[in-house]
Structure 1
Amino acid sequence: MAWQKIQIKKIENTAARQVTSSKRRRGLFKKAQELSTLCDAEIALIVFSAAGKLFEYSSSSVSQVTERHNQHPQTPEKPEPASLELQLENSTSAVLSEEIPSRKMRGEELQGLKMEELIELEELLEDGLCSIVEEKISDLQRKMIKKIQKARRLKDS
């Protein structure tokens, strides 16, 4: 199958749009991961699907990267803070939206899921496992470098 240049416009077919979204999101996250690894860049990527589902990738922690962004001197002025009611509503919805995926990832409440949702969940789990493996490898590499440096210092002294 040859690559075709596609016209960039909204895909009208809902199923095709969801499949394209899933594939492109996976590719975007992979590119973000590669950029982070190759260039030692701190990256946070947040995507909301058309259905309102949250997908995120971060080389460290989304909250750490966004906090760093907010403290950066080139960050534009922040808009006025939202009302207390809106903040409470947002925090409640954030807690609930974090709880539901974690219950699904533990294998709870999977009975009513559609095939697309199961595939999406599988991708999330794979991404999570890849992140964990990469973090472990980085930790091991750092520990190894420290041990090598310590050995060299002991050898030199």
Structure 2
Amino acid sequence: MGRGKIVIRRIDNSTSRQVTFSKRRNGLFKKADELSILCEAEVGLIIFSSSGRLYEFASTSHHANEVCLHDSTINAYDLPSRNIYY
């Protein structure tokens, strides 16, 4: 017996939303690391929280340095839009 489906929508409770964000962020970082190991791929991942905090993952130190350089040039007006088009 598997897990039930969940509806993907905004979580209203801010504490629950932050906990979910942290757990899913860590899950994405783990998957990115696994992808880089299994497929010998160079993987970079950048995540902005709703408060504007930046989280990044890079499979190689070379790319981590590039992310750090880019991070120093980001200001509050450069944050990504919440409107995502697929």
TM-score for both structures, normalised by structure 1: 0.39
Q: What's the counterpart of residue 119 of structure 1?
A: none
* Larger radius of gyration between Structure 1 and Structure 2: 1
**Aligned partners of 1:23, 1:92: CA distance in 2, in Å?**
25
Q: Percent identity?
A: 51
Output one character per residue of 1:53-84: Cα deviation in whole Å (capped at 9) or x when no partner.
110001012428xxxxxxxxxxxxxxxxxxxx
SS at match of 2:5: coil
Q: Which runs of 5+ in 2 are unaligned?
A: 76-86
Distance 2:7 2:59 in 1: 32
Report 1 or 2 for greater relative contact order, CA contacts < 8 Å, sequence distance ≥ 6.
2
Q: Which residue of 1 aligns with 2:84?
A: none
1:5 maps to a residue whose letter is K
Q: Provide closer, same or farther for how the CA distance between residues 44 and 92 of structure 1 changes in structure 2, counting only shifts above 3 A.
A: closer
SS at match of 2:7: coil
Partner of 2:39: 39
Per-residue CA shift, 1:7-49, capped at 9, x if unaligned?
Answer: 0111111000000000000000000000000000001000000
Which 4+ residue blocks in structure 1 deviate beyond 6 angstroms?
Answer: none
CA–CA separation in structure 2 for the residues paired with 1:21 and 1:31: 15
Task: Using structure 2 for the length normalisation, give the TM-score.
Answer: 0.69
Q: Which has the higher strand share?
A: 2
- The structural deviation recorded for 1:3 is 2.7
* Equivalent-residue separation in structure 2 for 1:36 and 1:58 (angstroms): 9
Give the match for residue 17 of structure 2.
17
Matches within 5 A, 1:72-83: none
Question: In the TM superposition, what are the counterparts of 1:64-103 in structure 2 within 5 Å?
Answer: 91=73, 93=75
**Residue 34 to residue 25, structure 1, CA distance change in 2 (3 Å):** same
Whole-Å Cα distance in 2 between the matches of residues 22 and 52 of structure 1? 14
The alignment partner of 1:91 has SS state of coil
2:49 is aligned with 1:49: yes
Q: List alignment gaps of at least 5 residues for structure 1.
A: 65-89, 94-157
Separation (CA, whole Å) in 1 of partners of 2:7 and 2:74: 40
- Rate the CA distance shift 1:39–1:91 in 2: closer, same or farther, 3 A: same
Compared with structure 1, are the counterparts of its residues 5 and 40 closer, same or farther at alpha carbon in structure 2 (3 Å cutoff)?
same
Q: Distance in 2 between matches of 1:7 and 1:42?
A: 32
Q: CA deviation at 1:92?
A: 7.5
